Structure 1
Amino acid sequence: MLGRPNQFVVGTLYDHNNQNRNSGQSYDGSPDPASVSLRDVDRGYGPDVKAQRTAKIITKNTAFYLENVLDLNSELKLIGGLRYDAIDVERKSYTGEDKYHKSYYPVTGRFGVVYSVLPEVNLYASYSRAAQPVSQLVSLNASRDEFSLQKGEQIELGAKASLLEDSLDVTVALYDIEKRDILTSDVINGVRISSQIGAQVSQGLEVAASARLADDWRVNANVAWNWKAEFDEFNENLGTDIISRSGNTPTNVPEWTAALYINKTLGDWQINGGVRYVGERNANNNNGIELESYTTLDASVAYRWQRYTVTLRGRNLSDEVYASWASTGGLTQRLADPRSAELSVHYSFAD
């Protein structure tokens, strides 16, 4: 193109998902009550029931995409991409609800430049757009028919370098992300409704390094600082009131995360170990409940013999007790797995 080296890729994909599932509706023979108390439980014997399908959901996604890399000169490259999706969702109820059908046709893409300051150091800048439904495709129903796709934009600036004769790789990235059209509550003419007027933003810095040391040692480290993560415009429906959460931090978003991993090769043996840190996070949208930070330690040892690889993994070796996730209300928190071990055998059919 334009007499300059150019790489062009065009492609397509098609995905078809057909599910028969229970989507939470009751049916004849459902246990009553559906739950029991945590105290003084009388286990008894439940009714003779089995899982029954309540909905048939078919999702189809046809996509066309293209990518292009143009070398303007030996130091500067232009990179662009474009993608068109045709998304189709069909939901048929076996419990008397109306049939539901919805289609989306998003166009997304990205554009960027890469500048080689030195043969070993590259600077880059990129802008990208994305789109996604307000919930998982298989969960869409008539109550969300009026909502469009949520839109997202990201600007990223960074540098990548291979130093010390390619024994040290370093990446630094600054990012600014905005997500719009988030579902939020509002009151119009005395009626509480859900509207797509919400937004949230995220800004931060990521640094990653990988070093190859003497005697087959390798060290990988990364750290991320999310200095701004907040709702730009968001109202929460509390049942009795609607409260603005603008300026608050979304749930499960830490300000700091970091990790350090070490790998050692000893002939047919591979030894790995790593420590991971996740900072404090908010457990609800009003930021009144905070999850504590945690640090976990994992390790593994693997032995390769002919086409077999036997691996012993240990996870959360310090037996840290922490919540890995919390609901937006903060009342439901998912505790992480305790200390555990896993033994696996892998066989390769090719040398």
Structure 2
Amino acid sequence: MLLSVRYDKFEDDSNGTAFDDNNVTYRLGAIYKVTPSISLYGQWADSYEPQGVGSQAQQAGGPFEPTTGEIIEGGVNAELFDETTLLRMAVYQIKRQNLLQNTGLDPEGDGIDNLAPVGEVTSDGIEIEVISDITPNWIMSVAYSYNDARITADNGGTTIRNSVGDKFANAPENQLGFWTRYQVPEWDLAFAFGGNYVDEQLSLSGQTVKSYFVADASITWEVENYSVLFRIDNLFDREYAESGFLSRTGHFPGNPRNGFVEFTYKW
């Protein structure tokens, strides 16, 4: 059984006057080993996070109360097939209060859209991950997550764009990712390829943000203490929107194809 208590002290002078806000957060967890290769776990934790300095500005409708929340999670970790495969499964519920949302309104006429807190957002989800050594030189991982995020409480009257029961903006239900790496010891090379699929989302204005798939690839050369990594993100130069904002401003575009080289020396 694990128990931890964290004490935090926050100071915020974004409004010109400093104040102290003391808060204690808690975390409780337990792990039970069913067999040498299978273990069950569970945890509960709460959270406390002051709003960002920019969000506290009066021009944006601030100051706002901190974001708070809690998580309940349970799962299983299992080493299978002579410990060549690791399986992780988890179910969770996360509740967060006072997440800020852009209202699209500018009642002060200062050119800055006001923010408003969402009373509560509840996320119910499942995560599954499999990591396997297919051969001594070939590794593959696959991860899937399902997340149903909805507004479950109002904020007492301040106008926001979504109502209780609506899906939370920019929270895809389904995501799937994979990554595979193959080593060629004779050449001191490793080739990797992977990708991520993200389900469709809803923007702040209720518009549909289309689903997308983005692939990445890399080549690594490593000998003694030196290594060189060449990586390309968005390998097929897919045009896509990562998330949605307001109808008058459109969506946030994802990064186009780009690459980088990384040199590493270990001593």
The equivalent residue for 2:37 is 120
* Residues 54-69 of structure 1 aligned to structure 2 (within 5 Å): none
How many residue pairs end up in the alignment? 251
Residue 247 of structure 1 deviates from its aligned partner by 1.1
The equivalent residue for 1:176 is 93
Give the aligned residue type for 2:30.
V
The alignment partner of 1:100 has SS state of coil
Cα distance in 2 between the residues matched to 1:297 and 1:194: 35
The structure, 1 or 2, with the larger RCO (C-alpha pairs under 8 Å, 6+ apart) is: 2
The alignment partner of 2:121 has SS state of strand
Relative to the length of structure 2, the TM-score reads 0.85
The alignment partner of 1:222 has SS state of strand
Cα distance in 1 between the residues matched to 2:239 and 2:118: 38
Cα distance in 2 between the residues matched to 1:202 and 1:329: 25
C-alpha distance after superposition, 1:177-218 (max 9, x if no partner): 111244689xxxxxxx99867111000100001001224110
Q: Is the 8 A contact 1:251 1:328 kept in 2?
A: no
Cα distance in 2 between the residues matched to 1:215 and 1:310: 22
Give the aligned residue type for 1:264.
Y
- Indicate whether 1:346 and 2:264 are aligned: yes
- Indicate whether 1:89 and 2:24 are aligned: no
Cα distance in 1 between the residues matched to 2:184 and 2:101: 56
* Stretches of structure 2 lacking an aligned partner (at least 5 in a row): 103-113
- Indicate whether 1:277 and 2:194 are aligned: no
The alignment partner of 2:39 has SS state of strand
Provide the aligned C-alpha RMSD in A.
2.6
The alignment partner of 1:106 has SS state of strand
Give the aligned residue type for 2:203.
A
Cα distance in 2 between the residues matched to 1:162 and 1:250: 36
Residue 103 of structure 1 deviates from its aligned partner by 2.0
Q: Is the 8 A contact 1:326 1:332 kept in 2?
A: yes
Q: Is the 8 A contact 1:283 1:330 kept in 2?
A: no
Residue 330 of structure 1 deviates from its aligned partner by 7.0
Give the aligned residue type for 1:229.
A
1:232 to 152, 164, 167: 152
Give the aligned residue type for 1:323.
A
For the structure 1 residues 100 and 326, does the alpha-carbon distance in structure 2 shift closer, same or farther, using more than 3 Å as the test? Answer: farther
* Residues 172-321 of structure 1 aligned to structure 2 (within 5 Å): 172-182=89-99, 198-226=119-147, 228-234=148-154, 245-267=163-185, 268-284=188-204, 286-287=205-206, 289-321=207-239
The alignment partner of 2:263 has SS state of strand
The equivalent residue for 1:129 is 46
